[in-house]
A and B are shown apart, each in its own frame.
Chain A
Amino acid sequence: AQRVTQPEKLLSVFKGAPVELKCNYSYSGSPELFWYVQYSRQRLQLLLRHISRESIKGFTADLNKGETSFHLKKPFAQEEDSAMYYCAIYNQGGKLIFGQGTELSVKP
């Protein structure tokens, strides 16, 4: 069965510091992986997906099949990055399963 694990409930960094939000997955096929973000009082929204291989708001995420990971990274965190971040995996049957979420707090 597909599963997503985000080991950190809370990650606190100072402004300008690098940040890495961890995501590990288990899936027998070729995974489709996503990062979603929920800013305070806003709807959940897509941040990025691995097939796009793009950088959004300075964030990147690389799929590592050997380590079954899809960690989210940003070299210099900003205060406006403070939010809840969810890693998610999709299977071909239509299920999109989310991880437990990591709350990122960027302090001035």
Chain B
Amino acid sequence: NAGVTQTPKFRVLKTGQSMTLLCAQDMNHEYMYWYRQDPGMGLRLIHYSVGEGTTAKGEVPDGYNVSRLKKQNFLLGLESAAPSQTSVYFCASSGDGNSPLHFGNGTRLTVT
């Protein structure tokens, strides 16, 4: 089992460009999450999903969109990147909300 896989690992964008971060899990988990990690801010929840075809807003959803068309994949989109979105993005999944989260290795995004 690969667990939770995030692609890409690194990306540099110019302001206004768009991109999609992919998260894939092979554990048949229902719940999936996208977080961003910033110094001094900890992990902040962007969006999450409690099952295929569902998404919900987290703490800092503005500027991001997500889709969960397939149970194993959770996509995070940036339509028009801004420097404030420079961060490390983590995807995580769990079997249900009470179960431990399994994290990916992170994607380091820089927006210039």
Contact = CB atoms under 8 A, between A and B. Distances in A.
Interface of A: 6, 9, 32, 34, 36, 43-46, 49, 51, 86, 90-101
Contacts of A49: 100
Contact of B105 (A36, A43, A92): A43
Contacts of A95: 45, 48, 56, 58, 97
A94 B44 CA distance: 14
Interface residues of B, number: 24
A7 B24 CA distance: 34
Interface stretch (B11-19, B35-43, B63-71, B73-81): B35-43
B42 A100 contact: yes
B105 A90 contact: no
Most central of B31, B35, B43, B106 by chain A CB within 10 Å: B43
Given A6-B42, A43-B104, A44-B90, A98 B56 contact: no
A90 B50 CA distance: 13
B59 A46 contact: no
Contacts of A101: 42-43
Which residue of A49, A86, A100 has the most chain B CB atoms within 10 A of its CB atom?
Answer: A100
Contacts, number: 58
27 contacts: A9-B40, A32-B98, A36-B101, A43-B104, A43-B105, A44-B90, A44-B92, A45-B100, A46-B101, A86-B43, A91-B97, A93-B50, A93-B56, A94-B31, A94-B48, A94-B50, A94-B56, A95-B45, A95-B56, A95-B58, A95-B97, A96-B45, A96-B97, A96-B101, A97-B45, A98-B45, A101-B42
A97 B50 CA distance: 15
Given A43-B104, A44-B43, 11 more contacts: A6-B42, A32-B97, A43-B105, A43-B106, A44-B101, A51-B98, A86-B42, A95-B48, A96-B48, A98-B43, A100-B40
Contact of A90 (B40, B43, B98): B98
B36 to A, nearest CB: 11
Contacts of B42: 6, 86, 98-101
